[in-house]
Amino acid sequence: MSDENVARVGRVAAVTGAAQGIGRRTAEVLTAEGYAVAALDRQPVTGVAFAATGDVSDESAVAGFAAAVIEWFGRVDVLVNNAGVGTAVPATRETPEQFRRVVDVNLNGCYWMAQACGRVMQPGSSIVNISSVLGLTTAGLPQAAYSATKAGLIGLTRDLAQQWTGRKGIRVNALAPGFFVSEMTDTYPDGYLDQAIARVPAGRKGEGAELAAALVFLASDAGGYVTGQTLAVDGGMTIT
């Protein structure tokens, strides 16, 4: 990108895990909202202003991505920490390698990315961590690693907000989505989603546009007085 084009860039959003599912929808919505989106994923990402291939659990890949975004655009205004993996393995059979992999991506990777972007973000910037209702409740599958990391991400969100909002002017919040159709839900056992939806007062799965609206609120100036919070977008599942 030329210096002239860099000067024309408005707000820049970095999105991890943007190749599919919630991450892809996030990249599309933020692009429609006028953000220049920079995406990082282990798989190729199309339809964004800038894309890199890498694993968020690799600190060097994260640092390289953040440096490239700054070189390309000159700024990062919004970070959406979406990259995540899950397992559904009974606790007595889950291997150390399986558990560590989930922690490395879902929690450590979010921290490395927040660190890298937090060092260069300017006052008025926003970080949105994608947690899960499974960080707040259980839903019938054996997901110790996934639930633990999503709960840990909520704690990380609070602490980074406490550290950075007053001193650096960076707001940090979390979204806790309920059940939205994605590649991850495609791997659930037959009948599991129907059983889980029975717990949801709204009586249905979420629509992508509903989650996107909540994310845009937290990312944008509309949410300027909101920090350190976890917003559950779950059809009421966490109140049952």
Q: What is the pLDDT of residues 181-221, one digit of tens each?
A: 766 666 666 777 777 888 899 999 899 899 999 999 999 99
Q: Is 225 a catalytic residue?
A: no
Strands of the sheet containing 12-16, edge to edge, are 50-53, 36-41, 12-16, 78-81, 126-130, 171-177, 230-233
Instruction: Return mean pLDDT, the chain.
Output: 92
User: Residue 234 has what pLDDT?
Assistant: 95
User: Residue 141 has what pLDDT?
Assistant: 83
pLDDT band at residue 6 using 50, 70 and 90 as cut-offs: very low
User: Residue 190 has what pLDDT?
Assistant: 74
Dist CA 1 CA 212 (whole Å): 28
Which CATH fold would you assign to the domain 3-239?
Rossmann fold (3.40.50)
- Per domain, the residue ranges of the chain are 3-239
User: Residue 5 has what pLDDT?
Assistant: 43
- Give the mean model confidence (pLDDT) for residues 115-137: 97
Question: What DSSP line would sit under the chain, residue for residue?
Answer: --HHHHHH---EEEEES-SSHHHHHHHHHHHHTTPEEEEEESS---SSSEEEE--TT-HHHHHHHHHHHHHHHS---EEEE---------TTT--HHHHHHHHIIIIIHHHHHHHHHHTTPPTT-EEEEE--GGGTS--SS--HHHHHHHHHHHHHHHHHHHHHHHHH--EEEEEEE--B-STTGGGSPTTHHHHHHTT-TT-SPBPHHHHHHHHHHHHSGGGTT--S-EEEESTTGGG-
pLDDT band at residue 145 using 50, 70 and 90 as cut-offs: very high
Q: Which of 146, 188, 192, 225 is catalytic?
A: 146
